[in-house]
Amino acid sequence: MPLVRLQKFIADAGIASRRAGEAIILAGSVTVNGHVVRALGTKVDPDHDRVTVDGRPLKSRRKLYIALHKPPGYLCTRDPSKHHVIGDLLPKEWGNLFSVGRLDNDSEGLIFLTNDGDFCLKLTHPRYGVRKTYHVTVEGRVEPEMLSKILKGIFEAGEKLKAEKARLLTVNNSRSLVELELAEGKNREVRRMFEALGMKVTRLQRLKIGPIKLGELRPGRWRTLTEPEIKSLLSKL
């Protein structure tokens, strides 16, 4: 195999993203063939060099890319002490996978899991702006001017919360269904936008990440992403 940068090798081993891998290297936690390495430009031979992080040997793992339909009531965490975590829905041997972004406990829909730190970074970092589409059920009547505010941006707790696209699908005095497209993934962003407008979200479902749709995938079920799907996610980044 060709030589690869040390931080990429760490990401390929599923330990951390490249950026986090750089911090691990600078902290002096990485050895190559028994020698501590702090130089970020260091390259290694994945087939022959022995790399450790905090004394733990690393090796490149087969990269996995999973699409999961997260049901409500499941947490996006790797903490085994928590009840109902999304890892419980996957085969036990995939315990090293981490979620690409988050959906809060009450939210549902499409989420990816992987052991590829670079893939995770590119799909979650704001500079890449990967679009995500949501269907949001809101208590009460959502007026068009509310969507205009969401499109312009709402400041809440020192952050600007903003949708790239917003449209009303159905609306009456008791319930509204809104479709939103977001380019960032701030914590509880959709719920916070509507809370700032005095509205309560009763259901939040993510239907699409980039070009990949939830489709017919049932709650609690998963599938592997195909090679063309992975390429389509990364092609414009």
Q: How many CB atoms lie within 10 A of CB 53?
A: 18
204-228: b or e for each residue (b if 16 or more CB lie within 10 Å)?
Answer: bbbebbbebebeeeeeeebeebeee
- Regarding whether 79 and 188 lie in a shared domain, the answer is no
160 residue type, one letter: K
- According to the model, what pLDDT value does residue 1 have? 56
Specify the CATH number for the domain of residue 153: 3.30.70.1560
pLDDT at site 121: 87
The per-residue pLDDT for 78 is 74
Structure confidence at residue 13 (pLDDT)? 83
Q: Which of 45, 49, 104, 106 is catalytic?
A: 104
Asked if residue 222 and residue 109 are part of one domain, the reply reads yes
Q: Is 104 a catalytic residue?
A: yes
- pTM flag (> 0.95): no
Can you give the residue range of the structural domain that contains 164? 132-209
Are both 96 and 156 inside the same structural domain? no
As for how many domains the chain has, the answer is 3
Mean pLDDT by 10 residues, the chain (237 residues): 85 81 94 96 90 90 91 87 88 88 95 90 89 98 97 94 97 97 92 97 98 97 96 86
- Whether residues 143 and 201 share a domain: the answer is yes
**Residues 175 and 199 placed together within one structural domain of the fold:** yes
217 and 123 within one domain: yes
